[in-house]
Amino acid sequence: MTNLGYACINMTLGKKRILTGRAMRKATLEEKGLAHASELALQNVLDLETILKWNVDNGIYFFRLGSDIIPWGDKIDITQLPDYDAICASLKRSGEFAAEHGIRITTHPGPFNLLASPREEVIQSTINHLEMHGTIFDLMGLSRSHYNKINIHVGATYGDKYSAAETWCSNFLRLSEGVRSRLTVENDDKASMYSVRDLYELVHSKTGVPIVFDYHHHTFCDGGMSEAEALELAISTWGNIKPVTHYSESKSLHESNDKLNPRAHSDYITNYIDTHGFDVDVMIEAKAKELALLEYRQLHKISFEKR
């Protein structure tokens, strides 16, 4: 049975200032120090508990956690945060709650995470950022498997798609077990970059890293495959873990404005998500977040269990 999920932000709770994305600028961090980062992080993790409960109350069992939950968590020593113990305790409660109710939690670090970069400082900050996510998932007690994926793109070719992919694979080996066991790659949304086929041949076959199939991106970079073919190939990389796909619609599909970038996501989604008969979980990437998920479920009369 397909679980539908949404990403990072709950609009309904956000209106009440319940969110996991309290962030701070570098200047503020330098001015106010770890104490303020700690306050924000604690509030973020406490609100995560509220959001997960809201999700269960609304029959949603799939959620993406954002990267700001511990502001600057990749640049600071989080064990030094004044509220470190309380933060850990809260994360642990969230993880236990997720286990109890069968909530799948994943994350998708940003487009700045580039393991193929020719610049060592970019690779190092990517590693630091991914390790932060691995640590947070460990603190939550989430599985070290692709069930709780940490998903990124290869994201750049530096003029040579093949050598960049090789660089990516060799830097993959520099990651800890807690990250390697969870890392997945997603097909890119530019023709010059990595299709599902590219990822299969250049990344998965070398490292075993599973492929997240993104429907929308596939329309920009199909590698000569149909949607069904690419989806099936991506699914074949997941072993015994239920695969994840990403679904979004172009803003230009919903608004008649020629100036819109076709890559921009719409607020809501309306088309039926065709999983081509496969049992997968679908992460809905729409600007209206959980509201888009609820609307979609109503529109297509999709039933969901309460657990």
Partner DNA sequence: ATAGGTCAAGCGAGG
Partner DNA sequence: CCTCGCTTGACCTAT
| Residues in contact with DNA by the rule CB under 7 A | 7-9, 14, 19, 21-28, 40, 66-68, 108-112, 114, 117-119, 121-122, 125, 153, 155-159, 186, 189-193, 214, 246, 248, 260-261, 263-265, 285, 287, 289
In the block, tokens 């109503």 appear at 298
- When the beta carbons of 14 and 141 are compared against DNA, the nearer one is 14
Shortest Cβ 178–DNA spacing (Å): 20
CB nearer to DNA: give 22 or 239: 22
Q: How far is the CB of 303 from DNA (least distance, A)?
A: 25
d(CA 151, CA 219): 20
Shortest spacing between CB 107 and DNA, in angstroms: 9
The distance of closest approach from Cβ of residue 10 to DNA in the complex, given in angstroms and rounded to an integer, is 9
Cα 204 to Cα 186: distance, rounded to the nearest angstrom: 11
* Choice between 89 and 264, CB closer to DNA: 264
| Cβ distance to DNA smaller for residue 6 or 92 | 6
Cβ proximity to DNA: between 190 and 300 the closer is 190
CB of 236 to DNA, least distance (A): 22
Comparison of 161 and 297: residue with beta carbon closer to DNA: 161
Query: Is the distance from CB of 187 to CB of 214 less than 8 angstroms?
Result: yes
Q: How much is the CA Rg of the chain, to the nearest whole Å?
A: 19
Q: Where are the alpha helices (DSSP H) in 141-204?
A: 161-172, 177-180, 196-199
Q: Identify the DSSP state of 116.
A: T
How distant, in Å, are the alpha carbons of 38, 66, 166, 291 from that of 6? 26, 11, 32, 9
Strand partners, 151: 184
Evaluate whether 247 touches 231 at the Cβ level (below 8 Å): no
Q: What is the smallest separation between the CB atom of 288 and DNA, expressed in angstroms?
A: 8
- Using CA atoms, how far residue 50 sits from 12, 14, 91, 140, 151, in Å, is 12, 11, 12, 15, 24
In the 8-state DSSP scheme, what is residue 80?
A: G
